[in-house]
């Protein structure tokens, strides 16, 4: 199996809000599985469909506790906050400290098209939030101050 291509900043697909899916067909199931394979191949813990050039609201995550596959994920409740450095397969070589809620409740469709609610905390909560950012056209450098973002952009172009 060959991994999908990871789109890198400043690829325009990373800035485009993803489109909600109407349901889960064989096409979405295949994409979920291809994304999980690609994520593992590149040693990631999360991946959003726009990162592989598909503008759909699909994310996958695996922090070592088994794969999570979510369509149209929405955070409906948060609790606590914490800071942690985050990296991104689409912004290689850059780690940025980001403050995010520590615990989240997410509503989504699972890989079978069934509506679910998922409670996540710690690293899994962080990964899901990071991937939801991708679905909204937001990437980790957006958390930087303006001048730091410019410096980061110059570093990435080299």
Which listed residue (28, 86, 111, 131) is catalytic? 131
Can you identify the CATH homologous superfamily of domain 12-157? Peptide deformylase (3.90.45.10)
pLDDT in tens, 27-53: 999 999 999 999 999 999 999 999 999
Tokens matching residue 134: 């991708």
Q: Quote the CA–CA distance of 8 and 125 in Å, as a whole number.
A: 23
- Catalytic annotation present for 131: yes
Q: Give the phi and the psi of residue 30 in degrees, each rounded to 5.
A: -65, -40
pLDDT in tens, 133-148: 999 999 999 998 876 7
pTM equals 0.95
Please state the separation of Cα 56 from the chain's center in Å.
Answer: 12
């Amino acid at each position: 199996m060959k991994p999908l291509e990871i789109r890198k900043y400043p690829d325009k697909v990373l800035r485009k809000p993803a489109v909600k899916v109407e349901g889960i067909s064989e096409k979405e199931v295949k994409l979920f599985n291809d994304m999980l394979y690609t994520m593992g191949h590149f040693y990631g813990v999360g991946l959003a469909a726009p990162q592989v050039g598909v503008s759909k609201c699909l994310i996958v995550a695996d922090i070592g506790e088994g794969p999570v596959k979510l369509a149209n994920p929405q955070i409906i409740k948060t609790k606590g906050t914490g800071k942690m450095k985050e990296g991104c397969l689409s912004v290689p070589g850059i780690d940025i400290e980001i403050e995010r809620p520590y615990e989240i409740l997410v509503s989504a469709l699972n890989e079978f098209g069934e509506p679910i609610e998922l409670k996540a905390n710690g690293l899994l909560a962080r990964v899901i939030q990071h991937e939801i950012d991708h679905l909204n056209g937001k990437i980790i450098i957006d958390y930087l101050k303006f001048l730091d973002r410019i410096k980061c952009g110059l570093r990435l172009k080299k």
